[in-house]
């Protein structure tokens, strides 16, 4: 059996890759999740991009999830001339705080969309732009005029709508801006498969958004307050993203690697899919090859247990978007050969006494190793059973089958899971037989292979997985229990 990549790849869609032919090539290269960054672009543009991703996925013959990334309560500058300007070191720049509509900044003035900034910054404090690459120091604060005079200590290019970081928590910012709720409604209309929440600070930020949608929520950890309350936040979230860009500004940068390791370990313990993001192959924005340090960074994230690795500017605006995805896929495939599967299966996930699904998932992975099974087949309605098996990191493929198109796509974020549609069954014996036949029909397995199949009693109810059966896959024409589908194959 040809080795399959297990670590998933999230790629940000932007001007460099949103053309239909390039999207097809991205999917063929290994993109599992397409990220739409709602900090940029209109709702109409995102709708068009989502339609293109769906069409490209159909052409490539592979399901691809769409991730909506909300801007969150982040400080952002307004538009700048020509979309990007260079701030020379030692030059002076005035930051004007308040409404930015219709205003265009340049090398001497930037507009900031939060009027409260003048009350949150003091003379001598620093402000950071461009993921920390550009540093301004406040030399005068004029609250009455809403203006902050600064000197550029570290120069560089800044772009329209780019984020600005300041020291301290900026507690006056709303937890979930009204703008985010408007974006969320647009994303639901578009049909996104998952939503990432930026600058989460407390679990209530997640539960508030959950009141407005049933789409799975990804908590982005990029604030010190979120790191301190990470377990509480992850327990109310469906997934987590280690967003190292802002995290490396909000925290001392030397702390970020160990914070990343702790967050990925916590996500594993709670069986939450995880994404490691920001500057993973940053040099590939302009170069066809990454640096050795970047390759090591990606490999270490995989060995830390991340479910997915994410490309941002590398695909959105970079010169080599397809090569960046291909490189990610190649690094993942080579690194996974050395992953500690036995240790992961036994120690990675916390299994409590109250939920048998965790124990069944662990036992399925252990059985796959002990019995040298060829795969684990997981029929699932919500995707939860596939997520729990994935969290235990078996050393065989995980094949998830679901009657729900959304569930099939959302499995694109789960480590090691390959998903497809199947009919819905209400009788457990028929579900197992149907799943066995379906993986042969898909060409994922061949007759005579021995696989493990999970199921639940009663069948057809989410969260009821409680049994595991070993099957030798049938030769076409063998007699199996009648496959009475409740609804046709999707």
Query: Is residue 150 situated within a structural domain?
Result: yes
What does the CA dihedral 479, 481, 486, 490 come to, rounded to 10 degrees? -40
The C-alpha atoms of residue 69 and residue 325 are separated, in whole angstroms, by 19
Residues 278 and 264 in one domain: yes
Residue 19: half-sphere exposure toward Cβ, Cα within 13 Å: 7
Strands 217-221 and 239-243: parallel
What is the predicted pLDDT for the residue at 168?
A: 64
Tell me the CATH number at 265: 3.20.20.60
Of 140, 165, 190, the residue at which a domain comes to its end is 165
Query: Is residue 1 situated within a structural domain?
Result: no
Per-residue CA distances from 12 to 39, 216, 315 (Å): 12, 18, 6
Domain that holds residue 463: 342-472
Residues 390 and 467 in one domain: yes
Residue 220 annotated as catalytic: yes
Residue 12 annotated as catalytic: no
Residues 60 and 112 in one domain: no
Residue 461 annotated as catalytic: no
Residues 209 and 298 in one domain: yes
Other Cβ atoms closer than 10 A to 90: 8
Tell me the CATH number at 157: 2.40.33.10
The C-alpha atoms of residue 3 and residue 174 are separated, in whole angstroms, by 47
Query: Is residue 19 situated within a structural domain?
Result: yes
Residue whose pair of structure tokens reads 């009350």 in the numeric block: 119
Residues 111 and 145 in one domain: yes
Residues 16 and 106 in one domain: no
- Which of 150, 278, 335, 465 is catalytic? The answer is 278
For 449, the token pair is 């292979």
b/e string for 398-433 if b means 16 or more Cβ within 10 A? bbbbbbeebbbbbbbbbbbbbbbbbbbbebbebbbb
Provide the angle, in degrees to the nearest 10, between the axes of the packed helices 356-370 and 384-391. 50
- Which of 6, 35, 52, 384 is catalytic? The answer is 35
C-alpha angle with apex 431: 344 to 216, nearest 5 degrees?
55
What is the predicted pLDDT for the residue at 317?
A: 95
User: Nearest Cα to 341, choosing from 369, 313, 318?
Assistant: 369
Residues 464 and 363 in one domain: yes
Of 305, 337, 369, the residue at which a domain comes to its end is 337
Residues 119 and 44 in one domain: no
Per-residue pLDDT of the chain (490 residues; tens, 9 = 90+): 678 999 999 999 999 999 999 999 999 999 999 999 999 899 999 999 999 999 999 999 999 999 999 998 878 899 999 999 999 999 999 999 988 888 999 999 999 988 888 988 899 999 999 888 899 999 999 999 999 999 999 999 999 988 888 866 566 677 788 899 999 999 999 999 999 999 999 999 999 999 999 999 999 999 899 999 999 999 999 999 999 988 988 889 999 999 999 999 999 999 999 999 999 999 999 999 999 999 999 999 999 999 999 999 999 999 999 999 999 999 999 999 999 999 999 999 999 777 888 999 999 999 999 999 999 999 999 999 999 999 999 999 999 999 999 999 999 999 999 999 999 998 999 999 999 999 999 999 999 999 999 997 766 666 667 789 999 998 766 654 434 344 333 3
DSSP states of 41-105 as a string? S-HHHHHHHHHHHHHHHHHHTS--EEEEE---S-EEB-EEGGGEEEE-TT-EEEEEES--TT-EE
Of 302, 337, 372, the residue at which a domain comes to its end is 337
**Burial (CB count within 10 angstroms: exposed 0-12, middle 13-18, buried 19+), residue 367:** middle
- Which of 76, 137, 229, 483 is catalytic? The answer is 76
**pTM above 0.85?**
yes
What is the predicted pLDDT for the residue at 195?
A: 98
Residue 62 annotated as catalytic: no
Residues 161 and 214 in one domain: no
Say which DSSP state 146 is in: T
Residues 206 and 322 in one domain: yes
Strands 79-80 and 75-76: unpaired
What is the predicted pLDDT for the residue at 459?
A: 66
Tell me the CATH number at 409: 3.40.1380.20
What helix, strand, coil percent values describe the chain, rounded to 5?
A: 35, 25, 40
438 contacts 425 by C-beta, under 8 angstroms = no
Query: Is residue 478 situated within a structural domain?
Result: no
Query: Is residue 233 situated within a structural domain?
Result: yes
- Which of 8, 220, 244, 438 is catalytic? The answer is 220
C-alpha angle with apex 427: 426 to 433, nearest 5 degrees?
115
Query: Is residue 479 situated within a structural domain?
Result: no
223 contacts 246 by C-beta, under 8 angstroms = yes
What is the predicted pLDDT for the residue at 169?
A: 58
Residues 321 and 346 in one domain: no
Residue 449: half-sphere exposure toward Cβ, Cα within 13 Å: 21
Residues 116 and 252 in one domain: no
Counting the structural domains of the chain, the total is: 3
Query: Is residue 489 situated within a structural domain?
Result: no
Query: Is residue 196 situated within a structural domain?
Result: yes
């Amino acid at each position: 059996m040809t080795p399959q990549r297990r670590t998933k790849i999230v790629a940000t869609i932007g001007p460099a890759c949103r053309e239909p032919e390039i999207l097809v090539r991205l999917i063929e290269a290994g993109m599992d999740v397409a990220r739409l960054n709602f900090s940029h672009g209109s709702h109409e543009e995102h709708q068009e991009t989502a339609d293109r991703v769906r069409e490209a996925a159909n052409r490539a013959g592979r399901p691809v999830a769409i991730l909506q990334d909300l801007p969150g309560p982040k400080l952002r500058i307004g538009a700048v001339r020509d979309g990007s300007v260079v701030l020379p070191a030692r030059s002076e720049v005035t930051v004007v705080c308040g409404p930015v509509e219709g205003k265009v900044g340049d090398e001497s003035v930037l507009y900031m969309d939060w009027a409260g900034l003048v009350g949150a910054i003091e003379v001598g404090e620093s402000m950071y732009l461009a993921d920390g690459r550009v540093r301004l120091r406040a030399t005068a604060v004029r609250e009455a005029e809403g203006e902050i005079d600064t000197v550029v200590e570290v120069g560089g290019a800044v772009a329209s709508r780019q984020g600005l970081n300041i020291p301290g928590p900026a507690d006056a910012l709303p937890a979930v801006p009204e703008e985010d709720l408007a974006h969320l409604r647009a994303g639901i209309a578009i049909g996104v498969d998952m939503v990432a929440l930026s600058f989460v600070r407390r679990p209530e930020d997640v539960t508030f958004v959950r009141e407005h949608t049933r789409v799975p929520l990804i908590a982005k950890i990029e604030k010190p307050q979120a790191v301190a309350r990470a377990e509480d936040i992850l327990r109310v979230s469906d997934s987590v993203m280690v967003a190292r860009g802002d995290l490396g500004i909000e925290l001392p940068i030397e702390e970020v690697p160990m914070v990343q390791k702790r967050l990925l370990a916590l996500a594993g313990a709670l069986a939450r899919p995880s994404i490691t993001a920001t500057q993973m192959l940053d040099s590939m924005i302009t170069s066809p090859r990454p640096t050795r340090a970047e390759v090591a960074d990606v490999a270490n994230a995989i060995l830390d247990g991340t479910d997915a690795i994410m490309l941002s500017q590398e695909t959105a605006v970079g010169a080599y978007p397809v090569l960046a995805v291909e490189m990610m896929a190649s690094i993942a495939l080579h690194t996974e050969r050395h992953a500690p599967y036995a240790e992961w299966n036994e120690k990675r996930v916390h299994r409590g006494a109250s939920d048998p699904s965790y124990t069944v998932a662990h036992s399925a992975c252990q059985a796959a190793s002990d019995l040298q099974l060829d795969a684990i087949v997981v029929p699932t309605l919500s995707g939860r059973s596939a997520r729990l098996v994935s969290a235990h990191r078996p050393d065989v493929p995980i094949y998830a089958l679901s009657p729900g198109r959304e569930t099939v796509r959302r499995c694109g974020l789960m480590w090691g899971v390959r998903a497809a549609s199947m009919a819905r069954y209400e009788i457990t014996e028929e579900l197992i037989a149907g799943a066995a036949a379906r993986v042969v029909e898909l060409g994922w397995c061949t007759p005579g292979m021995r696989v493990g199949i999970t199921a639940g009693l009663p069948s057809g109810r989410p969260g009821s997985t409680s049994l595991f059966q070993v099957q030798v896959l049938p030769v076409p024409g063998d007699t199996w229990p009648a496959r009475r589908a409740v609804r046709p194959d999707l």
